[in-house]
Structure 1
Amino acid sequence: MENISSNTQVHGYTLKGVLFLIGTIILFGSTNAQVLSTENKKAKKLYEKADKKYRDRDFDSALDLLEESVKEDPTFFEAYIRMGSLYNAIGKEDSVYSKFQSYIETAPDPIASVLEKQAFMAFDRGEYARSKDYLNQFLDKVPERGENFDIDLLSRSLEFAIDQLANSTDSITVSLLPKEINRFRLQYLPSVTIDDASIFFTKRDDVRGDEDIVVSYKKDGKWLPAQSVSSRINTPLNEGACTVSADGRTMIFTSCDGRNSLGSCDLYITNKIGDTWTHPKNLGKPVNSLYWESQPSLSADGKTLYFASNRRGGFGGRDIWVTKNENGQWSVPENLGKDINTRKDETTPFIHSNGVSLYFSGNGYPGMGGYDLYRSEKKDSTWSKPKNLGYPINTFRDEVSIVIIGEGSKAYYAKEEQKNYEILDSKLVAIRLPEELRPKSASYLIGVVKDASTGEPLIADIQVVDLSNNTLIYENTSDSVSGQYYMVLPVGLDLAGYVKKKGYLYSDFHFKTDSNTALKPDTINIELNPVKEGETLVLKNIYFELDSHEINERSESELINAFTLLKENPNITVEIAGHTDDTGTRSYNQSLSEKRAKAVFDALVSKGIDEGRLMYKGYADTQPLQPNSSEINRQSNRRIEFRVLRVKQ
């Protein structure tokens, strides 16, 4: 079904090249019209018998006779080109390559189209010097073909590949993953959680067998044997090419010709609640179409989806597209455009958990051969020019479906062996990425949301806002069974977090993601207090100018959440309390604390809250949360609090 190596056009062979070969068979279909190069009568007789067998469509016998003819005369170049053409007709590419090579070596003036075909075939076998020689011979005969896209791409790829090999180092080591993962006939298209604790991938027990999605979990630093992810997901049909969100709780996968699909292959979504995956649902229109949609990659928060498709509106055979989940609905997919997509294939996208580093495989850029792996960085709304990951990550074989762990140093992808377009072997490998190929790290928080009174886990909405521009950068929910949550966040930002559930006071916090430290999870467990008289809420993201009651614009997200709380609970009356640390005189602190409380009062009234539901009061430094013995403690004591005064029944 899904493995990229089974695509119709894996390598650089062009339709013109195939048509040439058909024409070659026709050209040599009549020996009476030819003056053969050999003077060996037996060789000529065998060639004529082969011609008759060819006309009878008995290709095997024709090939046997042609083999005998070149034994009689090893310089009989017409026999070689006939064999190469016949082998092409029956799909034996290695034999095509061998016979055309013999033809070029023996023919006094090789046909240009054979040189062209052979240049591509040598490149696809990693025989770069030979490919360059064939290409130069071809261009000497047909110099105008140098303007052709495929020829130009081959020329640039040869220059790139030869340079890569000449300047290769031992700094990158490619290593097989353990037998607990590589335990099937074929395994490919991996997806990994941000913490590198779970790896999901597609497996086959034989080359043409059923595809299923399996998962391996890491315990005490070692991978456990991979097992089927769920009987709800895997069926007698093909399921593969999956992606999981950073927390491993949302999966999107590919299934073909089943599950009420709209096209040849569609994308399906399932969510993990507790330890159970829900029944998969077709993503439907507009994501899926009558065409092929596959190889999804989900952003860390599960809100942006990249995938490959051959739908209309693209630049080549298969392009990379993107859609966003807006208010529970996926938007109309957009093509990533000519910055990423070419007239050939771009497939297996992977968006790193940092949200800006995109990796993909393709055959439309200069490379080592077959499908190579590339990287592009997003800045604002544009993508940088894709960069080939280079040798030894890329080779003349197909390298596809790379995924990279959250902190960016390690990657997984599939190494494949194939013959005549058929996969013989596929194993998952790991590499340590050099600094220049690593994506910018992401940061993440983990924790559990609970009811402060009962300790019961809660499903709650979680939002994170960038305080520099009051932009929402993360939105998700905690698990409805366990209350667990993940927040995956860019590094180097000053952020405000909000955890909300109807019937409860929300909880907020402020934190910075450090760009100078390796990825490691911070844990913040959240306890939500029910809305009832006497409960208090510290507004941790209200900021004032120094020694002033003027509210800083960074406070806007907190004011919006406070307004929403009051709007959703019209039966409550609250006191807005201002507090300071012990710096300054008591009278000064009293005045400042009251003015700050009044400023928040005014801001909420201006947003539409009835002032009869609000009171404000300054407490100066009389109610510290911590001893005023350090700057950190003093910062905690300088605060605005909500206290629920009344709840009307």
Structure 2
Amino acid sequence: MEKAVGVIRVNAIDAESKKNVKKVNYIVKNIDTEELQKYLAISTEGIVYLNLFDSPLKYELEISAKGYEPQTIKLDSSSLDRVLNYMLTPVKKASVVIPVVAQDQLTKDLIPVFEVVSTNLKLTETKPYKVLLVDGDEIDVEIAAKEYQTYAKHFVVTDTLLNLSKLIIPLERKSYTFLLKSWEDQELTEHIQASYKVFDLETNTMLPLAFQGLFPMVELYPSKEYSIHVVANGYEPVITRFAPLNFIKNKQFSIDFILKKKKVIAKAEPNLVIQSKEFGVIEKGRAITLLNLYFDQSSPVLRKESFQELDSLVNLLRDNPSLKLEIRGHTDNVGDFNLNLKLSQDRCQSVIGYLVTKGIQADRLKAVGRGPLDPVVPNSTEENKKKNRRVEFIRQ
């Protein structure tokens, strides 16, 4: 009896490695009808069963496998009861060799010394590292560096990686070193020797300090917040909350404090009364008129004739360093009230300005313009009006 089925065994072989290719797909198609011969059995081992009643036998066998160029084979009667070996050519994959670079995740600074500890990276060079990336490959990148957290991540190589000029690996640093500095001025020119305490707000523990020359150093973590206490002799203490993250991103590793001097409270004079040759007894709250004080007409500009009187006031203040004065100005009632009020204030400021140029501290002096509010006599005559136009000082 004539056989109804013919058998062909097909082996798919890698053209480069010469090894059998696994997971191969086989499709049989009738050449004349271009119909798939679904009724033909094809085993996973590559055994093809053909219907021998087709006359003549004209079939095509398509062989395909992931990562290989597909093959099309014509089958006929001569192929029966044979083992056919077909070479599959691997698909050419895009690839690139690029350097591996490690950088600080926050500052973006390059990390000069690091180790690639991955086991499946195709390294072409080491120190500096270069890696071969092949399209479709799966790789595990693991990078270690001193003082940094180990980086570990799984990648599938795609066009995104293949188009890179370098493989940049961001490493997270465990902590950063900050210098603690205190200053007298915003320009940071006058350094102040201070003591510091730094507390971790999460654990409420005080951190140890190290020293680099004049400045203490402390190790801070970017994800935490801290409380910093600053104390210096003669200055107001400072307690501040500090989050280092933005400082690190801006590569600012100095924490600068501007300290304010403590206010010195002057001790009261042992005697309530101050005696002056020029001004007599100077008691608290008593107004003393500066008799020889002259200004330009309706102006706060001092005339030279006033300087001798003001120099006497300078001597009084120098001899009594704790003495504070209120400089009080008055006008007559002629003219606009608001203009007179402003004129009296401006004349007081002129007096204070002169005293300050002679070395008297401005915080010992206070200007008060009263305008026409406090006449000493009625403004009924020119002589009385002249008496009402005056500048006084009052001991505070």
Which structure has the bigger radius of gyration?
A: 2
More helix by share: 1
**What TM-score results when the alignment is normalised by the length of structure 2?**
0.30
**What TM-score results when the alignment is normalised by the length of structure 1?**
0.18
More strand by share: 2
